[in-house]
Amino acid sequence: INREIINFLIEVHPTVNYSVVNCSWMGRNCDDKLMQYFVPTVTSEGVCFSFNMLDKDEIFTSHMTEDYSDRKFSERQPNSEWTLEEGYLDDATLKAFPRRTLIVGPNGGLDLTFMTLQSDLDYLCGDALQGYDVAQPLFFL
């Protein structure tokens, strides 16, 4: 891993506030909590923002977390009250982390409106598709 490249990506990456112009979670506006809800992470694609991602200590090995523990963008997430094997703990409240919704329908989840400036488009960089990648874990489909 080239530390200089990672440091450069961290220095020049746009904030989530730059790209998201409207955010609502369970039907409530959360524009003022974008930086709290979205965690920046360095990936092979650059700096990505994750919503509802478990803390790095719960996902990666201790060797991997050492690489990112001193990064300003890698703020700690709350301890989760959920496991892959058991789901949410019996005593987990409705505000437990990771966040979950109890509202059905389109207003029950995360709703985002993205914006891209024409000057940010570069068809010579990457493939012909420009914009954002939005991924959802397969076990939720």
**Is 45 among the domain residues?**
yes
Q: What is the amino acid identity at position 108?
A: G
Encoded amino acid at 51, one letter? F
What is the pLDDT at residue 23? Answer: 92
Residue given tokens 């000057």 in the structure block: 119
Distance separating alpha carbons of residues 36 and 34, to the nearest angstrom: 5
pTM of the full predicted structure?
A: 0.70
* Residue 101 belongs to some domain of the structure: no
pLDDT digits (tens, 9 = 90+) for 19-46: 899 999 888 898 888 878 888 888 777 7
Question: Structure tokens of 131?
Answer: 């914009």
| Domain span including residue 26 | 3-78+106-135
Structure tokens at 23: 């955010």
Residue 141 belongs to some domain of the structure: no
* DSSP 3-state of 82: strand
Better-scored residue on pLDDT, 57 or 96? 96
Number of domains in the chain: 1
